[in-house]
Chains A and B, each alone.
Chain A
Amino acid sequence: MASLNNFEEATFLAQSRDESFHVAEVSTGKLKKRRHFRWWRFAVLAVAAAYFLIPLFAGIRFSLQDTAGKFSFETIAALPSAPGFSAAFWLSMRVTFVTVLISAALMVPTAIYVHVRVPRMRRVMDFVTVLPIVIPPIILIIGVLFVAPVWLKASPYLLSLMYVILAMPFAYRSLDAGLGAIDLKTLTEASRSLGGNWVKTIWSVVMPNLRSGLMSALVLTLALALGEFTMASLDLWQTIPVWIVSTNGLPNGHIEIAAAMIGLVGACVLVTLIVSLDRSQSGRGKAGTK
């Protein structure tokens, strides 16, 4: 066996990530300690579940009540006809759609190109894609409002452009993680030396590995675009989040909470679907990982 260098070991470790912890747990046989540990772990998970799930439950329950406080779908049914909602809804949809479009067109080829052709640039990309965390929406929007030309400010798609920037850390990192799971350079070189041209190589070697990264990047971008409030409100566009606030920010706003809960639950469901889809594919898709 050739000597394992750090990189191979780390890659292997990253792939067997799920397995390693599990197996290690099973094979460590300490009787008394494990009982204590199990209790502690249960306690932590229980408290966490309470903190995260109770508000969720409260929010959903609130959305399913009418003004009298009784259980009903009235609120959710009333949502589409609430004043300003459909306009806000379509605006959010358009802005989000354009965001996803631009983001995909920009980030996917870039991520692939960096991984395959110029891996040295990865550090630079890492740095650049972290910048939106350093320059948060509130600072960005005040800058944008100053430098953007009037015709751009008149369009809601200015928000789309900004959302692409905001989503960059998450989108790029998801793609990056998906591409980095295998030694892409070696595989593409192998594919090319066997006679595949670039298109075929990207299609059969790169894309399968990109699938899960692409999905999570998509979901995160979507969630961000649909839920973004700061820039939209200060740019004076009434997207769904802005609409929620504008119509009355008090607890009696069943409608608003309904909209909020739909967003959160929807995203969770989407993500769960993606994860379970990915699992059924991971057996096939990742050739050459061991």
Chain B
Amino acid sequence: MSNTDVVALDPDSRESGSNATTRKSNSWLRIVLRKSGPAIALAPFFIFTFLGLGIPTIGVIFKAFQGNNGGFTFSNLGQIVHGVYLTGFENSFKLAFLSSIIPGVLGVFLAYAIQTSKSKALRRLITAVSGVFANFGGVNLTFMFIATLGSTGLLTFWLNAIKLNPWHFGFNLYTFSGVVFVYMYFQIPLMVLVITPALVGLRESWREAAENMGASNLRYWYHVGVPVLLPSILGGMLLLFGSAFAAYATAESLTTGIIALSPIQIGNFINGNVISNQVNTGYAIAFGMLVILSVTMILYGLVRKRASRWLL
């Protein structure tokens, strides 16, 4: 399985074998090239990623611990665990939590409904379109929902005509619950994308075996179906959590700063809209977010390992 196997079959290799010394130094060079082949070929990618991803991240961590006069300090971190910044984290956490559980569950049902439909075309189409919707966020999404459920939105207008105007019942698009409702627009497709492979991996023979053993539909799901899917569902929800936690544009354009959220607070620091006695507070908030997101992804990795063990 090593590179040597492939090279041996290489019809392009022209070892004439006439000059012994040239062959020796040639082969030495070849060995070096061969061994470092992967390193050279993959270098552009890793260098690029390091420069684009690694260095900024290191920069953030560095700055999070840098005091006003340049020295090492914990005071930035001290800032963010109080007051409005702590509230920011709490709100972000709550928002992400709700935006992962609710769309998570709904996404599973939707994915199942799609997968069990008989139309192959429909299934492929929806799966492809889910990719588009999962990335549709930010300002565009906000505006679309304002046109729909804003106080003068189309749906609001329709519902008003049948006396079911949600605004009269306390609904407000620009509050917490409104944000969760809007987030579902990209969270649900994301969940559908993540859980569909797991649903497909749910073998029909398990279901038939369960039925054969006397299990009703419900008991099959309870004893076999859901337990097998659970790691993937949890993994999907963790992914949704990370996605919602880190979202900036949608939240910003929807709430325009009314709700304290960590990403928005970072944005304010970049914009210079906020002045704090600790200059690098923004970086500290970013660092805090990084920690939370890292924990999320570690959990995601662990859960995925369990999922792959069973579904294959």
Contact = CB atoms under 8 A, between A and B. Distances in A.
Interface of A: 6-7, 9-10, 13-14, 17-18, 20-22, 24-26, 28, 33, 37, 40-41, 44-45, 48, 51-52, 54-59, 61-62, 106-107, 109-110, 113-114, 117-118, 121, 127-128, 130-147, 161-162, 164-165, 168, 170, 188-189, 192-193, 195, 197, 216, 219-220, 223-224, 227-230, 233-234, 241, 244-245, 249, 251, 253, 256-257, 259-261, 263-264, 267-268, 271-272, 274-275, 279
Interface in B62-96: 63
| Residues of B contacting A: mostly | helix
A41 B113 contact: yes
A121 B45 CA distance: 13
Contact of A189 (B6, B11, B253, B270): B6
Nearest to A119: B1
A32 to B, nearest CB: 11
A112 to B, nearest CB: 10
Interface string B86-118: 000000000000000000000001100111111
A257 B147 contact: yes
B131 A58 contact: no
Given A165-B52, A227-B136, A139 B266 contact: yes
Interface of A is mostly: helix
A22 B118 contact: yes
A251 B248 contact: no
A261 B113 CA distance: 27
B49 A165 contact: yes
A193 B7 CA distance: 10
B202 to A, nearest CB: 9
B152 A140 contact: no
A10 to B, nearest CB: 5
Contact of A164 (B11, B48, B143, B312): B48
A133 B239 contact: yes
Contact of A216 (B41, B128, B188, B290): B128
A135 B291 CA distance: 10
B257 interface: no
A59 B147 contact: yes
Nearest to B296: A134
A75 B129 CA distance: 27
B49 A59 contact: no
Contacts of B144: 55-56, 58-59, 257, 260-261, 264
Given A58-B144, A139-B286, A145 B57 contact: no
B100 to A, nearest CB: 14
Interface in B18-75: 37-38, 41-42, 44-46, 48-49, 52-53, 55-60, 63
Contacts of B56: 135, 139-140, 142-144, 146-147
Contacts of B152: 251
22 contacts: A9-B312, A22-B118, A41-B113, A41-B117, A54-B148, A55-B149, A127-B301, A135-B290, A136-B263, A139-B266, A140-B56, A142-B56, A142-B283, A143-B58, A144-B59, A165-B48, A170-B135, A189-B5, A227-B140, A256-B139, A257-B144, A274-B128
B267 interface: yes
Contact of A33 (B5, B139, B184, B217): B217
B120 interface: yes
Contacts of A110: 41-42, 44-45
B234 interface: no
A146 B60 contact: yes
A59 B124 CA distance: 25
A236 to B, nearest CB: 9
